[in-house]
């Protein structure tokens, strides 16, 4: 465990720094490493300072935090449901956030209100899914997953309905939000606070989650208080998903693909996978957003398109190579 933890840290921590530096250097104006260093030392030109510190840094940090939250949420949900297909998308959380955001846009509200509506939508979806899955009978992962999938389908229909009745002028903004868009993220620090807090809470829980992955009965027999732990994971995963979609819209694939890629490389110890998912999710979304800004500059692409285009081939390659 210690070896794979150190290996993951040795690979992912430098990669995280490089990803953020790349996001700072690349863009409509390319900034060479020497000039980037000068900016950080307070000696850079006015233009470079503004570009790096006021425009690119908040955006890169927002993308990193949101990617980290989504990766972590996916890893937590997969342990909770003991199902490798679980992620915030599949469970309808992103769908609820999307409906909230689109309704706010349709009402012509400001971007701040859109974010608040997205947060509210994600939480509403959490309550609906968990309440219905709880129901009158027993709570099982299969039931929760099925409820989530059906609720997600319901949100999908509502999204289509809203898009169909919206004025044409609103459609591009809505579509961008649905595919993920970091350009409105201005204040990354609350998301960073949540990310650091949840990683610090999840680290000591890692071994408990390893045991929980063997099934609730086995976990209980080994001394795990199963019900409180399961509730805690679900609430934490929901809150961090809501925080992430509030920042960057409905970005898919990160929560599903990142934990799996890491499992194929580092094994399945949650004490490694949870922090590694946060870092790798951050790296993926930061690089994806950098590409989204630069590929067809000055136009921008939705970041969700890039995460899928990067993530799917890498994931399929690792899966093909694995035992």
Partner 1 sequence: MPADPLPHPGPDAPSVHERPDERTLLATRELVVDVPQRPDGAPLNLTVNPGQCWGILGPNGAGKSTLLHTLAGLRDPRAGQIEVRGRGLPAMPRAELARHLGLVFQSHHDGFPATVLETALIGRHPYLRPWDIETAEDYALARAALAEMDLSDMESRLVDTLSGGERQRLAIATVLTQNPNLLLLDEPTSQLDLHHQVAVLNRIRAIASRDRAAVLVLHDVNLAARYCDRLLLLFPDGQACWGPTPTMLVPSALERLYNQPLSVGEIDGHPVFLPRSD
- When binding is defined by CB under 8 A, the residue of 116, 124, 163, 213 that contacts partner 1 is 213
Environment class of 310 (CB within 10 Å of its CB; exposed 0-12, middle 13-18, buried 19+): middle
- When binding is defined by CB under 8 A, the residue of 225, 295, 297, 314 that contacts partner 1 is 225
- When binding is defined by CB under 8 A, the residue of 4, 210, 243, 286 that contacts partner 1 is 210
* Max Cα–Cα distance, the chain, nearest Å: 65
Comparison of 84 and 190: residue with beta carbon closer to partner 1: 84
- When binding is defined by CB under 8 A, the residue of 6, 112, 127, 222 that contacts partner 1 is 222
> What is the rounded distance in angstroms from the CA atom of residue 154 to the CA atom of residue 160?
10
Comparison of 208 and 246: residue with beta carbon closer to partner 1: 208
Which among 16-24, 107-115, 175-183, 205-213 is the span making contact with partner 1, rule CB under 8 A?
205-213
The interface with partner 1 within residues 84-113 (CB under 8 A) comprises 84
Comparison of 94 and 208: residue with beta carbon closer to partner 1: 208
Q: Does position 7 bind partner 1 by CB under 8 A?
A: no
> Which helix H or strand E contains 321, and what residues bound it?
helix 303-321
Sole residue written with tokens 């063997």: 214
- When binding is defined by CB under 8 A, the residue of 2, 136, 138, 168 that contacts partner 1 is 2
Q: Does position 6 bind partner 1 by CB under 8 A?
A: no
- When binding is defined by CB under 8 A, the residue of 13, 153, 221, 235 that contacts partner 1 is 221
CA distances from 258 to 78, 250, 264, 304 (A): 12, 16, 10, 14
Comparison of 97 and 273: residue with beta carbon closer to partner 1: 273
* Helix ranges restricted to H, the chain: 2-25, 33-40, 46-49, 57-81, 93-106, 111-134, 141-165, 171-179, 189-212, 216-221, 226-248, 254-266, 270-294, 303-321
Work out how close the CB of 87 gets to partner 1 at its nearest, in angstroms, rounded to a whole number. Answer: 15
Assess contact for 251 and 70: CB atoms under 8 A: yes
CA distances from 77 to 82, 87, 212 (A): 8, 6, 12
Half-sphere exposure of 211 (CA within 13 A, CB side): 15
Comparison of 3 and 186: residue with beta carbon closer to partner 1: 3
Instruction: Catalogue the long-range contacts made by 312-319 (C-beta closer than 8 Å, 24 or more residues apart).
Output: 312/253, 312/257, 314/257, 314/261, 315/257, 315/260, 315/261, 318/260, 318/261, 318/264, 318/265, 319/260, 319/264
> Which helix H or strand E contains 223, and what residues bound it?
none
Q: Does position 208 bind partner 1 by CB under 8 A?
A: yes
Comparison of 186 and 214: residue with beta carbon closer to partner 1: 214
- Residue of 232, 289, 272 whose CA lies nearest to 60: 289
The interface with partner 1 within residues 262-321 (CB under 8 A) comprises 263, 267-269, 271
Which among 98-106, 170-178, 209-217, 276-284 is the span making contact with partner 1, rule CB under 8 A?
209-217
Q: What are phi and psi of 215, to 5 degrees?
A: 105, 150
- When binding is defined by CB under 8 A, the residue of 55, 82, 109, 111 that contacts partner 1 is 82
- When binding is defined by CB under 8 A, the residue of 139, 143, 166, 207 that contacts partner 1 is 207
Comparison of 229 and 250: residue with beta carbon closer to partner 1: 229
How many residues sit in the footprint of partner 1 (CB under 8 A)?
A: 30
Comparison of 56 and 260: residue with beta carbon closer to partner 1: 260
Binding site for partner 1 (CB under 8 A): 1-2, 78-79, 82, 84, 203-205, 207-208, 210-211, 213-215, 217-218, 220-225, 263, 267-269, 271, 323
């Amino acid at each position: 465990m210690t070896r794979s933890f150190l290996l993951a840290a040795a690979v992912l921590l430098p990669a995280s720094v490089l990803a953020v530096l790349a996001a700072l250097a690349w863009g409509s104006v390319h900034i060479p490493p020497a000039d980037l260093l000068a900016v950080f030392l307070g000696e850079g030109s006015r233009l470079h300072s503004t570009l790096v510190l006021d425009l690119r840094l908040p955006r890169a940090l927002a993308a990193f935090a949101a990617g980290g939250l989504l990766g972590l949420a996916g890893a937590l949900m997969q342990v909770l449901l003991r199902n490798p297909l679980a992620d915030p998308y599949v469970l309808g959380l992103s769908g609820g956030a999307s409906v909230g955001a689109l309704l706010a846009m349709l009402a012509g509200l400001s971007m701040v209100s859109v974010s608040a509506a997205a947060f509210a939508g994600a939480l509403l979806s959490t309550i609906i899914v968990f309440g219905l899955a709880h129901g009158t009978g027993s709570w099982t992962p299969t039931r929760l997953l099925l409820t989530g999938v059906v609720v997600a389908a319901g949100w999908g229909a509502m999204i289509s309905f809203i898009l169909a009745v919206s004025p044409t002028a609103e459609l591009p903004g809505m579509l961008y939000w649905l595919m993920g868009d970091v350009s409105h993220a201005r204040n990354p620090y609350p998301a960073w606070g949540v990310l650091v807090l949840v990683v610090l809470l999840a680290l000591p829980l890692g071994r408990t989650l390893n045991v929980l992955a063997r099934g609730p009965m086995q976990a209980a027999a080994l001394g795990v208080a199963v019900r409180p732990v399961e509730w805690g994971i679900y609430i934490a995963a929901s809150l961090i998903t809501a925080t992430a979609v509030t920042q960057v819209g409905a970005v898919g694939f990160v929560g599903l693909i990142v934990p799996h890629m890491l499992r194929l490389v580092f094994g399945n110890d949650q004490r490694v996978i949870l922090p590694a998912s946060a870092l790798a999710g951050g790296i993926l979304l930061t690089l994806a957003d950098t590409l989204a800004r630069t590929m067809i500059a000055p136009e921008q692409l939705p970041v969700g398109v890039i995460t899928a285009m990067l993530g799917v081939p890498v994931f399929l390659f690792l899966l093909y190579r694995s035992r």
